[in-house]
Amino acid sequence: MPDVVILGDPRSTYVRTARLACEEKGIAYELKPMGPKSDELTRISPFGKIPGFQHGDFRLHETLAIVMYLESAFDAPPLLPADAQDRAIAFQWISSANDYFYDAMVRGYILQYAMPSGPDGQPNRTLIDAAMPRIRHQLAVLDHAFGNARWLAGTELSLADLFVAPMLAYLPLLPEDLPADHPNVRRFLDDMAKRPSWEKTVPPLPGR
């Protein structure tokens, strides 16, 4: 069995980020599907968040810590630019994903379709409608960034792309199809879909 283990729900955008990093770096790993409240997960992640991570006897929680460990502990290809400015830009986008995109795109929107909290088990339109202006602004910012470059930081795929892409991937599947108005975001998702790492980490969806 691989020494590297990722614990969490494969539908989670952050679990997919950790898996994408392993796939891109050619790291053999085991995915152990489980929810955030499982006993095994909470022994690693005391705040009940996924993913959890093990490498032999070493354990980690928090996605950024996990992917930075993978970047440092395992061989090339690198997932961060060598140039200081490009590397700073990568962390700028990672912070944006964690601080802004996740709250609006995932908590305020995607999860309302995956785990509806509205009346009669329907998506909560109040939460969705509140998230829409933020998501549209975020997509406009990303569309501008992708209009100037293929990837978010530097000339090659980086961890920045691996944080953002799993969140964006759900948007075309939902009724509003938000990326339809953002051609550069669509192009980025098309580029990601061509990578073997992307196909290997597609989460289980209805009908698949």
- Are 52 and 147 members of one domain? no
What digits encode the pLDDT tens for the residues 159-189?
Answer: 999 999 999 999 999 998 899 999 999 999 9
- Are 67 and 88 members of one domain? no
* Residue 97 placed within a domain: yes
What digits encode the pLDDT tens for the residues 19-43?
Answer: 999 999 999 999 999 999 999 999 9
What digits encode the pLDDT tens for the residues 78-110?
Answer: 999 999 999 999 999 999 999 999 999 999 999
Question: Taking residues 63-84, what's their average pLDDT?
Answer: 96
58-65 long-range contacts, Cβ below 8 Å, gap at least 24? Answer: 63/14, 63/17, 63/18, 63/163, 64/94, 64/98
Domain end marker among 73, 92, 123: 73
Q: What is the CATH number of the domain that holds 41?
A: 3.40.30.10
Whole domain around residue 151: which residue ranges?
84-200
* Residue 156 placed within a domain: yes
- Are 182 and 135 members of one domain? yes
Domain end marker among 73, 97, 116: 73
Q: What is the CATH number of the domain that holds 150?
A: 1.20.1050.10
- Count of alpha carbons within 13 angstroms of residue 146, beta-carbon side: 23
Question: How would residue 206 be classed by pLDDT, with cut points 50, 70 and 90?
Answer: low
